[in-house]
Amino acid sequence: MPGIDIDKLNTLHLDVLREIGNIGAGNATTALSKMLNKKVDMGVPKVNILELKNVADILGGPENLVVGILLDVSGEISGMMMFVLEQQSAHVLVNILMERDIHDISEFTELDISALQEIGNILTGSYLSSLATLTKLNIISSIPQMAFDMAGAILSVPAIEFGKVGDKVLFIETEFAEGIDHVTGYFILIPDIDSFEKILMSLGVSL
C-alpha cells in the first residue's frame, strides 16, 4: 500500500520535488549544453499533478508528434524517466551532432536513431545520477527506449502505471530550450507513489 496520498502532499513536499527537478534537469541541461557547445536555458521545474483524463494535454496535446525516450527507474526508488523532444528539435540535434541535414523523421538512419538514443541516455543518466548523489539513494536505470509518436500515446505508458494505484499522475517536468537552433524538450521524472516518501525522507523532510 502506498504510504502517501498524492492529494496530501503539502507545499513543502512539492517544493522539494520541484528542487529535485531543478538539480536533475540542471545537470542534464549542462550536459546538453556541453554536447552542443551552445548555451541551453532551463525553465522553472513544474510539479504537475494531473488527473488521468488530462495527462495527454501536456507536451503540446495528445496528437503532437514527439520523440520520447523512456527508461525504467529502479533501485531504492522506482518509476520512470522520460526525455521528450519536439520533432523539429530531434532533427536539429541530429543535424548538429551527426552533421546531417534532416527535415523529416523518415530521413533518420539507424545511426541517427542510435545517436538520439545515446543523447537520451547521457542526459537522463546525468539527471538521475545527480538525484542519486543528492538523496544518497541507489538509483538504477534501464537502457532507454525510444518512440516517435503522438504525445498522448507515449504518455499512456507512465499513465497506465499510475492508473494502477490511483487516478492522478505526478510529473516533475522541466522544459529546456536552446535559443539559436530552437531545440526544445522536456525532462520528466515520474516517481511512483512509494518513492515520494523515500525521496522526501532521504532529504530529511517528514511526511
Least separation in angstroms between residue 8's CB and another protein is 15
Least separation in angstroms between residue 108's CB and another protein is 11
| Contact between 145 and another protein per CB under 8 A | yes
Please give the size of the binding site for another protein, defined by CB under 8 A.
37
How many CB atoms lie under 10 A from the CB of residue 3? Answer: 11
- Rounded Cα distance, 201 and 98, in Å: 43
- Rounded Cα distance, 9 and 207, in Å: 8
Least separation in angstroms between residue 157's CB and another protein is 5
Among 20, 36, 139, 151, binds another protein (CB under 8 A): 151
| Contact between 120 and another protein per CB under 8 A | no
CB 97 within 8 A of CB 31: no
Residues 18-57 contacting another protein, CB under 8 A = 52-56
Nearer to another protein, 37 or 106 (CB): 106
Query: What secondary structure does DSSP assign to 42-86, as a single string?
Result: EPPPEEEEEEGGGGGGTTT-TT-EEEEEEEEEEESS-EEEEEEEE
Q: How many helices (H) and strands (E) does the chain have?
A: 5, 8
Instruction: Kindly report the backbone phi and psi dihedral angles of residue 183, in degrees, each rounded to the nearest multiple of 5, phi listed first.
Output: -95, 115
Report the alpha-carbon angle 92-154-143, nearest 5: 75
| Contact between 60 and another protein per CB under 8 A | no
| Contact between 143 and another protein per CB under 8 A | yes
Among 70, 84, 170, 190, binds another protein (CB under 8 A): 70
Least separation in angstroms between residue 56's CB and another protein is 6
Which residues make Cβ contacts (< 8 Å) with residue 3, sequence separation at least 6?
194, 197, 207
Least separation in angstroms between residue 42's CB and another protein is 26
| Contact between 194 and another protein per CB under 8 A | no
Least separation in angstroms between residue 54's CB and another protein is 7
Binding site for another protein (CB under 8 A): 52-56, 61-63, 65, 68, 70, 72, 105-106, 142-143, 145-157, 159-161, 163-167
